[in-house]
Structure 1
Amino acid sequence: MNSSLVFTFLGQDRPGLVERLADIVSDHQGNWLESRMTQLAGQFAGIVRVAVAEADIDELSNALSSLNIEGLTIHIQPGASSTAPSANNKLCKLHILGNDRPGIVREVSRALKQQQINVIEMSSNITSAAMSGDPLFEAHVSAEMPAACDLDELEDSLDQIAEQLSVDIVLS
């Protein structure tokens, strides 16, 4: 029977890093199911979910952990069964755009938490504004919204944050 294994990694970016991880997974009869990876400030980080036979979990875990001597920090956790959204819950998306400033992520995530909205995925980036060249913060958020969520209250909270921090927040 196959089990799900989730591991995170962080290390100095270099060619062949993903191949090294994929080789170890494959060498231990694992199947690479899904992943998210990115380079930030010269570091390469990711989270990976693999399927592996229960009999091979320890060997795969040990092989991945041995990458610590190659400068990678690896954390391994057993994966849970699929966490599909509840039939009563809805998926929502947020797009945030505005001049960069401290507190944007904190305030938006606080508003989501108050409505028991669970962030499923988030990506953010700093770019330069077209005309001024000022730092521009942009984020895309996918979240799971419970059926009991007060949409009017959420929109009011997000509008207040947008006005206070001078950012655009679009909820769909």
Structure 2
Amino acid sequence: MRSYVVFSFMGSDRQGLARQIAEFFTARGINIERSRGCVLGGEFGMIILTSGSTDAIERLIKDLDSLREKTDLDIHVRKTKAPLHREVTPFIPYRLIATSVDRPGIINQICRVLQGRGINIDDISTNVDNNPVTGANVFQMVCFFSLPPAVKILDLKNDLNRIGDESNIDIRFEALICR
């Protein structure tokens, strides 16, 4: 039987951590289905969806202390379903991009609108960069979400335009054929 497990890793950044993690999984016959990692400040963070035989997954979980010792990372484990077994209602995939001069609360405002309309965020990433011309810290958020057929696009556009106008946030979103 095939099992699916999500692992999250966090610790001080140093060169080679992603390779050590991938090598650990590969040596045990575990497939990395999907992953995302980045450096935040001086910390490294990564989340990985893996799959493998139930026996191989159980052996890997029992052997995690060796990876913890080798990498000095905090590691958390959560068993999950196969991606195709997740219950999903019909939806249209969308991508949203928001850009603004940075300040607290932008993510909260946008997520509140999406959640208020019953919209699930599938993937989200944010970043703040310093604009070398103006010296301003510029915030950007990119998220992918699932728009249920019952949600009227015009209502969502109006909600997001209102937030954009009130808070000076450039918010754009578009339907995707595939992701």
TM-score normalized by structure 1? Answer: 0.92
- Does 1:26 find its partner at 2:26? yes
Provide the rounded CA distance (Å) in 2 between the counterparts of 1:97 and 1:65.
41
Aligned to 1:107: 109
Structure 1 runs of 4+ aligned residues shifted over 3 Å read: 65-70, 83-87
Q: Indicate how the Cα distance of structure 1 residues 94 and 14 shifts in structure 2: closer, same or farther if over 3 A, else same.
A: same
- Residue 148 of structure 1 aligns to which amino acid in structure 2? A
Task: Please state how far the C-alpha of 1:67 moved relative to its aligned partner.
Answer: 3.2
Structure 1 partner of 2:8: 8
Query: What is the CA distance between 1:139 and its match in structure 2?
Result: 1.0
CA drift at 1:103: 0.7
Over the matched positions of the two proteins, sequence identity in percent amounts to 27
Deviation of 1:137 after TM superposition, in Å, equals: 0.4
What do residues 52-99 of structure 1 show as CA deviations (whole Å, max 9, x unaligned)? 111122211122244334421111111212257846211111110111
1:14-71 deviation digits (Å, cap 9, x = unpaired): 1121121112212221112220010110111011111111112221112224433442
Question: Equivalents in 1 of 2:68, 2:27: separation in Å?
Answer: 18
Higher deviation after alignment, 39-48 or 145-154: 145-154
Question: Which residue of the other structure, out of 149, 158, 162, is the alignment partner of 1:160?
Answer: 162
The residue type equivalent to 2:26 in the other structure is: S
Tell me how far apart the structure 2 counterparts of residues 112 and 96 of structure 1 sit (CA, whole Å). Answer: 13
TM-score of the superposed pair, with normalisation by structure 2: 0.89
TM-align CA RMSD: 1.7
Partner of 1:37: 37
Count, aligned residues: 172
Counterpart Cα distance in 1 of 2:87 and 2:110: 21
> Does structure 1 conserve the Cα–Cα contact (< 8 Å) formed by 2:13 and 2:42?
yes
The letter for the 1-side match of 2:163 is I
Find the aligned partners of 1:85 and 1:57 in 2 and give their Cα distance.
23
1:139 alignment counterpart: 141
Letter in 2 for 1:137: F
More deviation in 31-40 or 76-85? 76-85
Residues 103-132 of structure 1: CA deviation (Å, up to 9, x unaligned):
100000000001111111111111123531
Where in structure 2 are there 5+ consecutive unaligned residues?
175-179
